Amino acid sequence: MSALPGALVLASLVGCSAGPVEVASPELSADDQAACTALLDSLPATLAGLESHEITPADAPAAAWGDDGLTLSCGVGVPDDFDEFSRCDQILGVGWFFPEAEYKDESRTLTATAVGYRPRISLTVPADYRGNVSLDAFSTLAPLVQAHLDLVQRCR
In tens, the pLDDT along 71-108 reads 999 999 999 999 988 989 999 999 999 999 999 999 99
- C-alpha 70/C-alpha 128 separation (Å) is 10
- C-alpha 72/C-alpha 23 separation (Å) is 9
Give me the pLDDT at residue 21, please: 92
- C-alpha 32/C-alpha 152 separation (Å) is 13
In a domain, 5, yes or no: no
In a domain, 82, yes or no: yes
In the chain, how many domains are there?
A: 1
Preceding amide of 26 cis, omega within 30 = no
Contact 44, 97 (CB under 8 A): no
- C-alpha 121/C-alpha 74 separation (Å) is 4
Give me the pLDDT at residue 84, please: 85
Give me the pLDDT at residue 17, please: 52
In a domain, 70, yes or no: yes
In a domain, 8, yes or no: no
Task: Work out the number of other CB atoms within 10 angstroms of the CB of residue 64.
Answer: 26
In a domain, 40, yes or no: yes
In a domain, 16, yes or no: no
Preceding amide of 57 cis, omega within 30 = yes
In a domain, 6, yes or no: no
What is the span of the domain harbouring residue 45? 21-151
- Mean predicted confidence (pLDDT) in 123-137: 95
Q: Where are the beta strands (DSSP E) in the chain?
A: 21-22, 46-47, 50-53, 55-56, 62-65, 70-74, 89-91, 94-96, 110-114, 117-118, 121-125, 150-151
